[in-house]
Amino acid sequence: MQHMPVYLDNNATTPCDPRVVEAMLPCFTTHFGNAASRNHAWGWAAEEAVQQAREEVAGLIGADQQEIVFTSGATEALNLALKGAYEAYAVKGKHLITVQTEHKAVLDTCHHLEKLGAIITYLPVDGQGLINPDDLKAAIRPDTILAAVMYANNETGVIQPIPEIGRIAAEHDILLLTDATQAVGKIPLNVSKEGIGMLAMSAHKLYGPKGAGALYVRRRSPRVRLTAQMDGGGHERGMRSGTLNVPGIAGLGKACALAADEMAGEALRLAVLRDKLEAALVAQTGAIVNGGGAPRLPHVTNLRFPEVKGTDLLRVVSREIAVSSGSACTSANPEPSHVLLAMGVPEELAHSSLRFGLGRFTTESDIDRAIETVNHTVRSLHAIYNL
């Protein structure tokens, strides 16, 4: 029987933890009510499940439960944050700041806002993928309303200095929005201590279900105002109408509760495995770590393999290991990674880079198999190319 490939694409999506599935199941069958139905037991049970999840999500990120707005995922959360803030703060100005290495959910939304009259500054990054906080300071104008800076990059795992960025935003009276989709549940973060005004997250990146996510919206000191992007019914304190996805929300809550309990131990275990994978491939194949000098998430490595064609490498390796050459949202696009290009990686080497995302269910034997597969593939390709 053919064996299954090793799954090392946990930045694209994670498998649902069985404990999350268990928490969701009653919401499909016995507790199937509409959380907005306030007149009977089924509605109350659904509302209770949503309330518990709200507290679990808030607890993981250091927020108040009333600051959590449930969405269909991080893409919707980011659209609501950017478009909602642009409309709500139009009287102050139309200038927004973001970073060249953001996810397409931010960049494409910014391009949309530009068509509506927004002026957007796209900050550059250095060779490690980090922004210079002085560049952010220099970009702020009297009409700046918001800076959108990703907490940790989805392709490289590079972590931005968010507490420092939060201080700069507060000093200049602008909002800080962070796409924390890859960071939430993987590393400790605290919205109130780090000066974050809005934070987007997705359940399926932390062992929860697809189709559920949340936007943290700060309530005080100062309160963040948003214009709703979806009208009808006034759910989620008027910020996001629509019948709540109770099973998905319950799953997101349980995933956050598990992450709060297990994150520290999991991060240590995965960092050891990631470092083993990285060290072996650097030594055996001459690979170079993209963003290796910066603070990174413990479970991610992005490696470029010189003198190997990226299409050949990915085609052969993917028979044995599930990895990617960039964001899952752009994998249908043959263009090289915009993240690596912004870091100054030459186009050819950006094409020959692979992202390895380890996860809760990754074992040491998975890593051994990945090392063997990639090493063998690179050597074989070098032989074919007569190197």
* Same structural domain, 220 and 306: no
Residue 1, domain member (yes or no): no
Residue 196, domain member (yes or no): yes
Give the closest residue to 99 by CA, choosing from 163, 143, 165.
165
Predicted pLDDT of residue 1: 44
Q: Which residues, 6+ apart, have CB-to-CB distance to 1 below 8 Å?
A: none
Predicted pLDDT of residue 237: 79
- pTM of the full predicted structure? 0.95
Last residue of a domain, one of 224, 239, 257: 257
8 A C-beta contact, residue 205 and residue 13: yes
264: how many CB neighbours lie within 10 A of its CB? 11
Residue type at 10? N
Q: What is the mean pLDDT of residues 190-205?
A: 98
Catalytic residue among 16, 110, 256, 329: 329
70 confidence band (pLDDT: 50, 70, 90):
very high
CA distance 160 to 130: 6
Q: Is the peptide bond prior to 26 cis by the omega test (within 30 degrees of 0)?
A: no
Q: What percent of the chain has pLDDT over 90?
A: 83
Q: What is the mean pLDDT of residues 80-94?
A: 97
Q: Could you list the residue range(s) of the whole structural domain that residue 213 is in?
A: 18-257
* Same structural domain, 232 and 344: no
* Same structural domain, 100 and 225: yes
* Same structural domain, 249 and 289: no
* Same structural domain, 209 and 349: no
pLDDT tens digits, one per residue of 214-256? 999 999 989 999 998 988 888 877 778 888 999 999 999 999 9
How far are the Cα atoms of 36, 160, 327 from residue 153, in angstroms, in the given order? 36, 8, 10
Query: Is the pLDDT at 99 greater than 70, yes or no?
Result: yes
* Same structural domain, 268 and 152: no
Predicted pLDDT of residue 331: 52
Q: What is the CATH number of the domain that holds 120?
A: 3.40.640.10
Query: Is the pLDDT at 46 greater than 70, yes or no?
Result: yes
Give the largest CA-CA distance in the chain.
74
- Under DSSP, is residue 107 helix (H, G, I), strand (E, B) or coil? helix
**Residue 27 among the catalytic residues:** no
Mean pLDDT of the chain: 94
* Same structural domain, 68 and 151: yes
* Same structural domain, 150 and 40: yes
Last residue of a domain, one of 224, 257, 290: 257
Q: Considering Cα of 111, then 115, then 118, then 119, what sign does the dihedral take?
A: positive
* Same structural domain, 246 and 266: no
CA distance 375 to 105: 34
End-to-end CA distance of the chain: 35
Q: What is the mean pLDDT of residues 308-337?
A: 81
pLDDT tens digits, one per residue of 137-164? 999 999 999 999 999 999 999 999 999 9
Last residue of a domain, one of 257, 278, 300: 257
CA distance 100 to 107: 8
* Same structural domain, 215 and 115: yes
Residue type at 73? G
Q: Which two tokens mark 227? A: 């214009």
Tell me how many domains the chain contains. 2
Give the rounded distance of the alpha carbon of 221 from its chain centre.
Answer: 26
CB burial string 183-210: b at 16+ within 10 A, e below: bbbbbebebbebbbbbbbbbbbbbbbbb
pLDDT tens digits, one per residue of 159-187? 999 999 999 999 999 999 999 999 999 99
Residue 40, domain member (yes or no): yes
* Same structural domain, 208 and 279: no
8 A C-beta contact, residue 96 and residue 225: no
Residue 89, domain member (yes or no): yes
126 confidence band (pLDDT: 50, 70, 90):
very high
Q: Which residues, 6+ apart, have CB-to-CB distance to 70 below 8 Å?
A: 50, 53, 54, 212, 213, 214, 236, 240, 244, 245, 249, 252
* Same structural domain, 85 and 211: yes
Query: Is the pLDDT at 332 greater than 80, yes or no?
Result: no
Q: Which two tokens mark 235? A: 């759910």
CB burial string 311-347: b at 16+ within 10 A, e below: ebbbebbbebbbbbbbbeebeeeeebbbbbbbbebee
Residue 198, domain member (yes or no): yes
Q: What is the CATH number of the domain that holds 272?
A: 3.90.1150.10
CA distance 199 to 217: 7
CA distance 387 to 382: 5
Predicted pLDDT of residue 194: 98
Residue 91, domain member (yes or no): yes
